[in-house]
Structure 1
Amino acid sequence: MKSLFLKEFQLGVRVGGGALIGVLFFLAVVTVFPFGVGPDLKMLARIGAAVLWIGALLATLLGLDRLFQTDREDGTLDLYLMAGRPMELVVLIKCAAHWCATGLPLVVAAPVLSLFVNLEPVAIGAVTLTLLIGTPALTLIGAIGAGVTVTLRRGGVLLSILVIPLAIPTLIFGVSAATAAVSQVAPFKAPLLFLCAITLMSFVIGPFAAATALRNAGD
């Protein structure tokens, strides 16, 4: 398990730029929105949490198409299946390594990028907390799409089409929790607990669904 995690983490960092590409894409998305909205700082502060969450979602999708694709191409996936390894555990370890290589840098960069959208310190803390809780769910949901499209040579577009609708509940509750922490009109705890529940459900459903898709691809 440790060897697999380290191998996947190193590949996630090296292949395609890994964390650097994700953070740069996150930066590009966040910096483009102020130019589109204009110099209205109050407007930016209202939509800032949504901007950061959309940027994190799109940045998470960047490397998901390679999550199982390289293992499929070099035969490693077939070896996992023939050796009788529990594919659910393999998927979970690969998702953990992928999140540490791509998702965690987004969480670390979020406080700095929050300044681009004029968020207050309380909002910055709320957005960072919700991203820390919600981005693992995005990775696990994306693993399902990566498993379904593993046999396609260029399945990145189809993967995005499959994953984005499934990720909408995570996006909704993440933005709702971050916005509630600032506006204080709606309770902060309720959407945060829903976000935690979605992440926990993803830990249960994601590996099993992705493992089933990989077994079908192996057949």
Structure 2
Amino acid sequence: MSAAPILAAFRQALSEAWAGGAGALLPLGFLGGACVLVPLGIGTEGETLRAVGPGILWVALALSSLVTLERIFQADTEDGTLDLWLQSDAPVAAIAAAKTLAHWLAAGLPLALASPVIALMFQAEAGPALLVNLGLYALGSLAFFFWGGVGAALSATVRRGGLLIALIALPLFVPTAIFGALAMTGGPGSEGAPMLLAASSLFACAVAPYAMAAALRLAAD
């Protein structure tokens, strides 16, 4: 097995993630806009914002991760790159994982880094807990991107497939969003929520690449 196609796919995906000048700016703008609008609808009382903040932030994080997923595999099916992958001696699952990881580094990691700052808008206490939450956001966003990659692979041959990606990926986001929000609420069952969130992300990283590979093979037929 040669690692050259995997590295080439990774570099290509990094450049694609910034194509058109968007990069991380569009998902960050979506995340910030969604979270800024919430206090306008529910009020600015500190207790209310602290209660709903974790859930709102995780939902906004999940939706923001969908913004750039349409670009992961669509161009490769159009210009013949996908056929070259299938003919190479590198596993298609590894190539798909590399491209998804590159998009996460370009867009998902900035979302995770911005999330603690936005949490302060919901009256979260400034302190070491924000750094812990940053790690949880990074884990969750990784799962969101890998499950979203499955939707992107299934809709790779569909023009304007953003809606289809959302319909496929959003049900897969539910466990990660639940465990992530529960880990930050401090309510009943929150003690084991970080481990469940980590398990959910590891499961996504282990299973999603093979699902993406199967979908891409169908797209090439």
Q: TM-score, normalised by structure 1?
A: 0.92
Counterparts in 2 of 1:145 and 1:63: CA distance versus 1, 3 Å: same
Of the candidates 5, 12, 19, which is equivalent to residue 14 of structure 1? 19
The Cα shift of 1:46 comes to 0.8
Q: Does 1:136 align with 2:137?
A: no
Residue correspondence of structure 1 range 172-191 to structure 2 within 5 A = 172-180=178-186, 185-191=187-193
Aligned residue type for 1:29: A
Q: Does 1:54 align with 2:59?
A: yes
Once residues 23 and 89 of structure 2 are traced to their aligned partners in structure 1, the CA distance between those partners, rounded to angstroms, is 30
Q: Deviations over 1:119-161 (max 9, x none)?
A: 1125534432211111111111011111111111121111101
The answer to whether the Cα contact below 8 Å between 1:130 and 1:178 also exists between their aligned partners in 2 is no
Once residues 20 and 111 of structure 1 are traced to their aligned partners in structure 2, the CA distance between those partners, rounded to angstroms, is 17
Once residues 148 and 46 of structure 1 are traced to their aligned partners in structure 2, the CA distance between those partners, rounded to angstroms, is 37
2:18 aligned counterpart, secondary structure:
helix
Counterparts in 2 of 1:24 and 1:191: CA distance versus 1, 3 Å: same
Q: Does 1:106 align with 2:111?
A: yes
The answer to whether the Cα contact below 8 Å between 1:25 and 1:59 also exists between their aligned partners in 2 is yes
Once residues 135 and 117 of structure 2 are traced to their aligned partners in structure 1, the CA distance between those partners, rounded to angstroms, is 14
Counterparts in 2 of 1:64 and 1:160: CA distance versus 1, 3 Å: same
Aligned residue type for 2:178: I
Q: Deviations over 1:88-129 (max 9, x none)?
A: 000110011010001000111112111221111255344322
Once residues 155 and 118 of structure 2 are traced to their aligned partners in structure 1, the CA distance between those partners, rounded to angstroms, is 32
Q: Which runs of 5+ in 2 are unaligned?
A: 1-5
RMSD over aligned CA atoms reads: 1.5
Q: Deviations over 1:4-60 (max 9, x none)?
A: 322211221234501011111111011010101112221011111112111111110
Aligned to 1:166: 172
Once residues 5 and 151 of structure 1 are traced to their aligned partners in structure 2, the CA distance between those partners, rounded to angstroms, is 21
Aligned to 1:194: 196
Q: Does 1:203 align with 2:208?
A: no
Aligned to 1:215: 217
Q: Deviations over 1:52-72 (max 9, x none)?
A: 111111110001111100111
Of the candidates 12, 21, 28, which is equivalent to residue 23 of structure 1? 28
Q: Does 1:88 align with 2:93?
A: yes
Once residues 5 and 214 of structure 1 are traced to their aligned partners in structure 2, the CA distance between those partners, rounded to angstroms, is 17
1:121 aligned counterpart, secondary structure:
coil
The Cα shift of 1:73 comes to 1.2
Aligned residue type for 2:83: D
Bigger fraction of residues in helix: 1
Aligned residue type for 2:142: P
Q: Does 1:44 align with 2:49?
A: yes
Q: TM-score, normalised by structure 2?
A: 0.92
The answer to whether the Cα contact below 8 Å between 1:144 and 1:209 also exists between their aligned partners in 2 is yes
Aligned residue type for 1:210: M
The Cα shift of 1:85 comes to 3.0
Once residues 21 and 182 of structure 2 are traced to their aligned partners in structure 1, the CA distance between those partners, rounded to angstroms, is 33
Q: How many residues align?
A: 215
* Aligned residues with identical type, % of pairs: 35
Once residues 39 and 203 of structure 1 are traced to their aligned partners in structure 2, the CA distance between those partners, rounded to angstroms, is 38
